[in-house]
Amino acid sequence: MIHVKNVYKNFGQLEVLKGVSCYVAPSEVVCVIGPSGSGKSTLLRCINQLETVQSGDILIDGQDITHPSININKIRQQVGMVFQLFNLFPHKTTLENVTLAPTKILKISPDEAHERATILLQKVGLVDKANVYPNQLSGGQKQRVAIARALAMQPKVMLFDEPTSALDPEMVGEVLEVMKDLAYEGMTMMVVTHEMGFAREVGHRVLFMDEGVIVEEGSPTQIFDNPSNPRTQSFLSKVL
Amino acid sequence: MTQVVPYTFGFNIIEKLMDIHGFEVVANNFTSFLMGALITLELTALAVAFGMVLGLIFGLLKLAPQFKIGYAFATLYIDFFRGTPLFVQILLLYFGVLPIFGDIGAFTSAVIACSLNSGAYIAEIVRAGIQAVDKGQMEAGRSLGMNHPQAMWYIILPQAFKVVIPPLINEFIAMLKDTSLVSIISVSELTLRGKLIYASSYEPAWVWGTVAIIYFIMTKLLAMFGDYMERRLATE
């Protein structure tokens, strides 16, 4: 589904990604862990071209999205993204947040979009909040709406950029529950996270990144119980 | 025979105010004042309407330095119309520039001058408003598959609009008052009417007082409209 091949990315003098290669198979949940500034978020943002790469290829469904002739908007419709700070549209109600892109971009009828949005809001448990504005929602509720908004485009892949890092501890669980359900339904997911419990329980594979490279990857048991790289060992000893 | 003018101390003012002549002047010319106010309103409405279109275009160009020609043109336009007096712009356009294109008339000329001036200020308001919207909003829109103009139109501009209402109303009020400058090219708006009525009546306090009150009522209504819009767009 996603193939990242030898990607380099720098912001000015700062090299953020130094030759990253990885893949996500269909219906696979890949969790990316690592210290701050290791390039996890940048990698995720490169995958839907919110950042452009200096060199290397990124293939989604076999299409090289770094190629200049590609219509990135079409690609992004199939790649849902959930942000750390939610980025809900504050001038739209919960329901409108979810229906906006399908009606304007996919041009589906308002009735159908409404129906689709209601089902999604049911799924994330917020159908009773359909007509309120984002600033009346808690952080956890906002993030669940953001997930519903991304799902409304019926993406093939979902990217999560530290979806629970900005939440109060008691709200982390409700968001992870929604993500867990999604994973069990067979959604292809790439999740940058600091929630080691989630990575261990839901992730099929875990990538450990440090200083712009993938230091180690493997199954959750392998990474968490038996890390082979000293840098992975030292990181995990601090966070677990 | 010399006429003796008695010195009346402070009573002069009271006498003047109670002077039935001044009141009559205002009352008799009331329709003329109102017609002038109407022309002032019309001029302002046209100027800010065109000004908003110009402001939106040039404000967006100002945010796109990658389009070098558009950016340079926008910079030049804004610098010129913000950097020279509106009074001079009105004179320059009416006497210097527009006659090249034939006889356009004082009113149209005034609309063009005020629109161009207003557009320059509104461009900066638009730019500031768009920049005030969180960067994550554009990213969220783009990540859903919108192209740049779609994200701008559906997500950024509605939020920017809310931010720019107070400075925009400020600009409208300033423009309404500044239309008084077009009296110099004989557009018979409120100030020119005041000048003419004063010249034939010599009642400065009554005439200019009335003109001031009419301007005040118009700007106050505009300010109230701004407050109403802010309340209506609030999502809290």
pTM for the predicted model, two decimal places: 0.83
Tell me the pLDDT band of B8, cut-offs 50, 70 and 90. Answer: low
* A85 part of contact set with chain B, CB < 8 Å: yes
Give A163→chain B minimum CA distance, Å.
Answer: 14
Check whether B5 has a pLDDT greater than 80: no
Average pLDDT over residues A106-122: 95
Domains of chain B: 13-233 (1.10.3720.10)
CA-based nearest distance B18→chain A, Å = 56
Bridge partners of A160, per DSSP, are A82, A191
Q: Is there a contact between A87 and B137 if contact means CB atoms under 8 Å apart? A: yes
Please compute the mean of the pLDDT values over residues A159-188 and round it to a whole number. 94
For residue B111, the tally of other CB atoms under 10 A from its CB is 23
Q: What is the pLDDT of residue B208?
A: 95
Reported ipTM: the value is 0.92
Distance between A233 CA and the closest CA of chain B, angstroms? 34
B66 by Cβ neighbours in 10 Å (0-12 / 13-18 / 19+) ranks as exposed
**Contact call for A150 and B236, based on CB within 8 A:** no
Residue A78 CA to residue B143 CA, distance in Å, equals: 9
pLDDT of residue B151: 96
In this complex, is the C-beta atom of A73 within 8 Å of any C-beta atom belonging to chain B?
yes
The string of pLDDT tens digits covering residues A28-61 is 999 999 999 899 999 999 999 999 999 999 999 9
Under 8 Å CB-to-CB from A42, ≥6 apart: which residues? A9, A16, A17, A51
Q: Is any Cβ of chain B less than 8 angstroms from the Cβ of A74?
A: yes
Q: Is A132 on the interface with B (CB under 8 A)?
A: no
Nearest-CA distance B234 → chain A (Å): 9
Asked if A74 and B162 come within 8 Å (Cβ–Cβ), the reply is no
